[in-house]
Amino acid sequence: MKLSKELLDQMYSDHITKLISAVDPKDFLRNYAKPEDKEIIGLFASALAFGRISAFMKKIQLIANILGESPSKTILDDFTYKIAFDEIGKIKHRFIKGSDLQSVLYSMRCILLLNQIFCGGGFIGDIIKRKVSCMREENYGLNYDITPKEILIMIREELFKHIPDYAETRSLKLMFPNPLNNSPCKRWNLFLRWMVRHDGVVDQGHWEFIRASSLIIPLDIHISNVARKFNLATSKKNNWDTAVEITNSLKLFDAEDPVKYDFLLCHGERLGLFEIFR
């Protein structure tokens, strides 16, 4: 049996309850109402989303517990920030050290403070929105679709801008890879999916200034194997170009929202939804 839009959409609608019940780091974002809180937890959750699911979910939960009901408020307050900084330094995940997480937290505090002083509040999404608006007005017009790679480069630059050179460890750079190196940037693209897509079911993003049609699928070994199995990719490499190739194949099924199938491809096989193809 061959993949088709009708079949994929039918599987998606028939099994959405089972899909959203699967353990997934995006679930942490549902606990927050403020955009800046979703962005803070989203950055930590996506950056740590590798390795065994049970392991990284535990670490993300620890960070969420430390940052409390409003991560932005915790980080902005001098007293609670110092406590959070010390506690987050005790967390490790694979190659990521506690000092790396502290560097990220410090950078987040700088961004929040500067936005509060000069813009009345907000976090990384507000900065990117302003930059995208300037790019469209000055160079390309409102119809210009800024690429995910451009957006990720801007986010990465904002994060690293406030981190001292001595703290820019190899592990921190692996935590937030440079999109210019042709890495698939799975965790970066996962973060973008959470921020941009809003279907009210799987994703509840709020970055309306970026079109869902421009997103790139978060590519890892599992997704690439599933994609090749269904002839969505010909390349045997797992890099940015392959992620683009798979996304373009998915655009044949839904040009406006190709990454909506990411959740199905990610969890579908594990939940036995692709048994009909055996």
Q: What is the pLDDT of residue 16?
A: 75
17 pLDDT exceeds 80? no
147-176 pLDDT tens trace = 999 999 999 999 999 998 888 899 999 999
> ∠ CA(87), CA(128), CA(181), 5° rounding?
80
CA distances 218 to 126, 183, 238, Å, are 23, 11, 11
Q: What is the pLDDT of residue 142?
A: 62
What mean pLDDT is predicted for residues 38-58? 96
Q: What is the pLDDT of residue 166?
A: 82
232-273 pLDDT tens trace = 999 989 999 999 999 999 999 999 999 999 988 887 766 665
Q: What is the pLDDT of residue 244?
A: 97
What mean pLDDT is predicted for residues 111-138? 93
169-210 pLDDT tens trace = 999 999 999 999 999 999 999 999 999 999 888 899 999 999
Which pTM was predicted?
0.93
CB 263 within 8 A of CB 19: yes
CA distance 80 to 169: 26
